[in-house]
Amino acid sequence: MKEYLTEAVVLNVKPYKETDRLVDLYTKDFGRVVAKVTGGRRATSKLSPHLDTMSLVETRLIQKNRFTVADVMVKERFRFLREDLRKNSSALKLMFLLRSLVPELTPDLQFWHHLIRSLKQGKVSTRTFLELLGYNPLLASCESCYAREISHFSLVDQSFLCRQCSLKFRTSLGSKLFYVN
């Protein structure tokens, strides 16, 4: 059993089994980590109130077969992101994008620092994060018609689409299509 103390951004929290939760974190030291929160669904849970999506936390993780959250303390909630509907929507979409594209246990300090800086400044740009993940919109063309003016990124096949082609695929791809801002 190993124990680690690290900073993390909460990407997502979801129910797991009867009384537990799974929390998806992007940590400074390990990259993306999915950890179990034992008893996290109980009303008396002392950890769950601190695990809000888009929060910067200091967490103690215990690793046996999998990671488990032992302690957590909120460092910053980025309230201005939560209060501005447009910024909140962009930040939540970014959290979904990161959960979908970033593999587990691949730490990247440059990515970490950019994520924290973006959340603190309230300037969440899908384009920049795609570039950091190796999907450069400046070098891309539409997967369907080869137009150079791209506007959307598809999580389904990890390709770029122009505005016109994205309208064709919007109904079938739904939430798997991201506007590249």
Task: Please state, as a whole number, how many other Cβ atoms lie within 10 Å of the Cβ of residue 8.
Answer: 27
Quote the pLDDT of residue 174.
59
Residue 83 dihedral angles phi and psi, to the nearest 5°? -80, -25
Quote the pLDDT of residue 173.
55
Quote the pLDDT of residue 163.
92
Quote the pLDDT of residue 140.
94
Q: List, in order, residues 6 or more apart from 35 with CB less than 8 Å away.
A: 22, 23, 25, 59, 61, 66, 67, 68, 69
Three-class secondary structure of residue 152 per DSSP: strand
Three-class secondary structure of residue 144 per DSSP: coil
For 96-105, write each residue's pLDDT tens digit: 999 999 999 9
Counting every residue written for the chain, the total comes to: 181
Q: List, in order, residues 6 or more apart from 127 with CB less than 8 Å away.
A: 137, 180, 181
Domains in the chain, ordered, with CATH?
1-120 (2.40.50.140), 135-181 (no CATH)
Report, as ranges of residue numbers, the positions in the chain whose pLDDT lies below 50. none
Q: Rounded to whole angstroms, how far apart are CA atoms 14 and 96?
A: 13
97 HSE (CA, 13 A, CB side): 26
List Cα–Cα distances, 176 to 88, 97, 170, in angstroms. Answer: 18, 9, 9
Residue 124 dihedral angles phi and psi, to the nearest 5°? -95, 110
Quote the pLDDT of residue 172.
62
DSSP-derived secondary structure letter, 48:
G
Tell which phi-psi region holds residue 89, choosing left (phi > 0), alpha (psi between -120 and 50) or beta. Answer: alpha
Q: Rounded to whole angstroms, how far apart are CA atoms 82 and 120?
A: 12
Quote the pLDDT of residue 118.
95
Pick from 71, 81, 80: nearest CA to 51: 71
